[in-house]
Amino acid sequence: MPAYAQQNGTGISGIHFNTASPMGVIPVTGFGPDNFRSSHSGAASDLQQAQQLIASGDFVQADSLLATVIGETPSRQARFLKGVAKLGLGEAAAARRYFEQSLYRGRNGHPGAMSGLAIAEIRLGNVDAARNILHKLEYQQEKCGHGCDRADALKQAVGVVEKALA
């Protein structure tokens, strides 16, 4: 189940979770089902549980669960969620590291990971780095246009980063 970004809700400005959320948020990760597969049979359910823990604000439990999952799978989504948990725990430097690990697929950065990275950079006082990420998101958005599969995710990520920079 993909993670979602939006304003407020988890105590972390810029990130919401769960498609069943009454908040009706737009996906901003670009993580597809192939990124969730691993040899660890419980990884998908562990990721879903971690996502629910984060959505409920239980960052300590999510962080602990994700430490195990990350040891068993190369999943970029697990690293993304770990970054969100670290942001929730106030550990921006660790969050940055995990967002960086979840960032790329091919030549494009995942919008959710990029917006999470920008938030971590802002919390670390690196506003110029966050602006650079915003420019990269805007460039991807321009190249993507309105018809590509990442258009909504890019639009939402740009909005999240713009609001965080405001």
Residue by residue, pLDDT tens for the chain (166 residues) are: 334 443 334 445 445 443 333 322 222 343 443 343 444 456 788 899 999 999 999 999 999 999 999 988 888 999 999 999 999 999 999 999 999 999 876 667 889 999 999 999 999 999 999 999 999 999 999 998 878 888 898 999 999 999 999 9
> What's the chain's Rg over C-alpha atoms?
14
pTM equals 0.76
The backbone torsions φ and ψ at residue 63, rounded to the nearest 5 degrees and listed phi first, read: -60, -45
Say how many CA atoms lie within 13 Å of 7 toward its Cβ.
10
> What is the CATH topology of the domain spanning 33-165?
1.25.40
What is the number of other CB atoms lying within 10 angstroms of the CB of residue 44?
18
